[in-house]
Structure 1
Amino acid sequence: MAEDGVEVATELVRLAGADEQCAHLIGSALPLLVEASKGASPSQAVAASFAHPAWLRASLVETRGDELRKCRSRRGVLAQLRAAMSAGCAGPTTPLVSAATAVPRCLRGTQVLELRALLDKSCPMVKGCAELHRRTDAIERSPLRRRPRSLILGACEQGGVLVTGDTLGNKAHLKAVGGATWEARLEAWRFRDKTVAELRAELEKRGVAVDEDTAEGDAVARREARLQGVKGATLARAAAAQAHAHVRVSRHKRAVLVTGDTKQLVDALRALGGKWIRTLGGWCLPGSARVELLSALRADSTNVVTEESDAPTSGAAASAHGSRTKPSKRKRGQHEVPDAVCEGDGGCVDGGEAEGADEDFDFEHE
């Protein structure tokens, strides 16, 4: 086997440990790899494994399985496959191509599409691979493939520019321009000191694709109306979902915490402005959204919603009798900042328990 083929085989063996679905295709080579590696180079060991008839057996072995499962690298797979095929060492009947058709289980998005194009061009016999076609067809139909890749600029009546579209993909460019603030309520970026023409010119200098919202009226009002429409449709779907969820709604500082079986309620919770907080094991929503949240959860009659009362806890009752304690503070530079900082009704950010959590109330989502 050519050296390029050995490199591809090595990468495929590593990828097998990252996904058990494709591990069975090359798992039978592992014991031979272990045996052949005694006193032999890794390249010779892999080549010997692939040459052995046992390669064709679809049996998943546990030899070195734990170590191989830690290998998550997907870099270079397409480049190595391309080099191997151009060198003529990956004919349509070789085990290498059989393993290559399983690689899409380990790849993501456009990598799968590129692999399909590569195999269709180099190995006509692979065109009948149903699994490869199923994966690529699903990616082509995915809404993520149809999301706008350009930025959309809209003028605001009170001055400034509202930026929507693919803001997540162009976040670095927007920050580099300067003067941008993320409007979580609008899920958009806003430049208060620029005009549409000025911002368009600066973004185009950076190679960013830009479209202009030419509709009449305030861009902010249109954005609010659009988000309200999306929110209403999401809550309507949630009401008819029959989720059979058991959740508890409680108060967390100035926010609302939803815990329990929330897996079927993710879309509704996000539509109401919720964020997943790993350290709390639940979803945090603005305190002002409590009434709307309870209404949305109970709109599905299959849900069981337990509402925790806002009665003071034993600690709070003790403080009412004169043992009140002040919240601890920590110094940050020249300022004193409470350990628990609540940003209005937008959510609660804990200084201590949110360390390392998925708690980015200001994070940008599309």
Structure 2
Amino acid sequence: MHRVNLAENIYYVGFNDRKTHLFENIWPIPKGVSYNSYLIVDEKIALIDTVERSYIDDYLDQIEVLTEGRPVDYLIINHMEPDHSGALKAVISKYPNITLVGNKKTFEMAQNFYQVTQQNIEVYDDSELSLGKTNLQFTTIPMVHWPETMVTFESTNKILFTGDACGSYGTLDGGIFDDELDYTQYDEEIVRYFSNIVGKYCAHTQRALKKIAKYEIKMIAATHGMIWRSHIDFILDKYEKLSTYQTEPGAVIVYGSMYGNTAKMAEIIARQLAVRGIKNIRVYDSSKTHPSFIISDIFKYKALILGSAAYNNAMFPTVETLLTTIKHMGIKDHLLGIFGSFSWNGGGVKNLEKFAEEIKWEVVGQPLEEKGAMKPDHFSRYVDLANAIADKILA
């Protein structure tokens, strides 16, 4: 096996998952995901988080090699979600004298998930643990994205182990560190990971960023995605912008259309935005694209333009599903445009307007609605809506 060193006595122990289709059984991961664990070998030996249970055998074998058969003294649990704690019982079984390190909520979850009664050390903000030459410090960052989440700072090499924070979808295809690969190719998966997993908790993320600012960080080691050692500012700046809803100039157009009438309106709006010089335009058929990809772009771009055909006196179902997710995420500070169609009774646009009232974004222009197909003499209405949104974006 390759030995991947973060420092002389600190090792990466992780696995690439290219088989799983849905992360948390809901979010598509076409580019896979990595599960990252870390091992510190000193006078005392500590594991930081574990891995998903499918990798238990290989995981324990790697630890055995790296420790040269010595027992592991501590398991530090930054995050209890089962994709990280899945090997917990196996680790305890192999190292029965191991001590678990976490906060009060960590141990409540460990009991609830795995019924463990292992000896433990309860830590708080600024608690410390010495392994010999290596000293660890702990800071809780609750709701990024579970209530027990914390980070661990290794002060000698200034490595921050961040759990899910600063993570990413996407397997590590050979390169483990950000300077071993083209880290910019992971940008989409970083944003999609944040928006899907952490995005509901932006205020908590802001508090977490302020709490970890006390550390002089030379490396960030999350439990998913690459290890950051050369472009730390890139990932911290990305989290700052996303968690404060800072957007790029651009528009996301999402529609639900049965027979193409509402889709044609979306195409007119998209073309006119381009005519006006808007470069970032994303058009989605809500029946084809999973909400996780759409939500990611909504986090990135300033305007959202929604179109829905009426369906049983309501919104088109896949549009309604998306809007439920948006409300659940609590996304703020966007521009909103509305359009749609109906055959004999409304429901699409009427319910989009209700969504607008609930979300409290800035509605641009008047909602547009057609009975049946769009009439030729109404073409200018959709051009005008696009122009009004372009004016706001460009301003």
Alignment TM-score, normalising by the size of structure 2: 0.28
More helix by share: 1
Q: Which has the larger radius of gyration?
A: 1
